[in-house]
Amino acid sequence: MCTLYGVDGPVKMSHSNAHSLRVMTKTNVATQSATERCAREIVETVPLVMRFIRTEMRRQSGPFLSVPQLRTLLFLSRCPGADLSSAADHLGVSRPTASAIVNRLVRQGLVNRTGHPQKRRFIILTLTRTGFQRLQRAREAACALVAGVLAHRSPKELDKVVQGIALLGKVFKEQNESE
């Protein structure tokens, strides 16, 4: 028998149980630091990659689209028929600011803005054919640029990147679904 001291006071247990507890605690600490290391890499790397992609997409979409406008087009491509409030939430801006962004996109013929048939204050947003095509061209150009950056990596490294990105996407999709 041995006594371990924890936050709830002393606990008596067999030596084998105490050893198992120590192993589990060390494993948890090792896992926690691996988790923290992974989180740190994600938090530092994802914005860098996204900035690179956004810069290219903006360059390809022409001088008349701001980053918030481009983000709105991307959002509407993933969520066709979204309302103005959802777009504002996605952009992290107020409804009036989102409305102004959408108005510019409507004037450029990239977004349709229609009223909901039953809800008077509800605005439905969709990409126009032109908006979809312009976004597709920008996406394809960004993919080509990213492919060019990755072209000098070994197949083994590329497989690791694909596996890591796929796992990251799965983890955050599950997280979003549980919320």
Q: Which domains does the chain have, with CATH numbers?
A: 2-178 (1.10.10.10)
Say if residue 18 is exposed, middle or buried (CB neighbours under 10 Å; 0-12, 13-18, 19+): middle
Work out the pLDDT band at 28, boundaries 50, 70, 90: low
* pLDDT at site 7: 46
3-state SS assignment for residue 153? coil
pLDDT in tens, 29-38: 556 688 898 8
In sequence order, the 6+-apart residues with CB closer than 8 A to the CB of 13 are 1, 2, 4, 21
pLDDT in tens, 65-82: 777 888 899 999 999 999
Q: Tell me how far apart the alpha carbons of residues 90 and 97 are, in angstroms, rounded to a whole number.
A: 12
pLDDT in tens, 80-101: 999 999 999 999 999 999 999 9
